[in-house]
Amino acid sequence: MRLDLTGKVALVTGSTQGIGQAIAAGLARAGASVAVNGRKPDGVTAAIDALREQVPDGRFTAAAGDVSTEDGTAQVLAAVPTVDVLVNNLGIFGAESPLEISDDEWRRYFEVNVLSAVRLTRAYLPAMTECGWGRIQYIASDSAIVTPAEMIHYGMTKTSLLAVSRGFAKHAAGTGVTVNSVIAGPTHTGGVEDFVYQLVDKDLPWDEAQRQFMREHRPQSLIQRLIEPEEIANMVVYLASPLSSATTGGALRVDGGYVDAILP
Q: For residue 85, which of 227, 182, 156 has the smallest C-alpha distance?
A: 182
Task: Give the integer Cα–Cα distance in Å for 221 and 258.
Answer: 4
Domain ranges of the chain: 9-187+229-252, 188-226
- Give the chain's mean pLDDT: 96
Confidence (pTM): 0.94
Whole-number percent of the chain with pLDDT over 70: 100
CATH superfamily of 9-187+229-252: NAD(P)-binding Rossmann-like Domain (3.40.50.720)
Structure confidence at residue 190 (pLDDT): 78
Task: Give the integer Cα–Cα distance in Å for 46 and 8.
Answer: 23
Mean pLDDT of 141-163: 95
Is pLDDT above 80 for 264?
Answer: no
Active site residues: 154
Helices 41-54 and 18-29 sit at what angle, rounded to 10 degrees? 50
Is pLDDT above 80 for 220?
Answer: yes
pLDDT digits (tens, 9 = 90+) for 86-119: 999 999 998 899 999 999 999 999 999 999 999 9
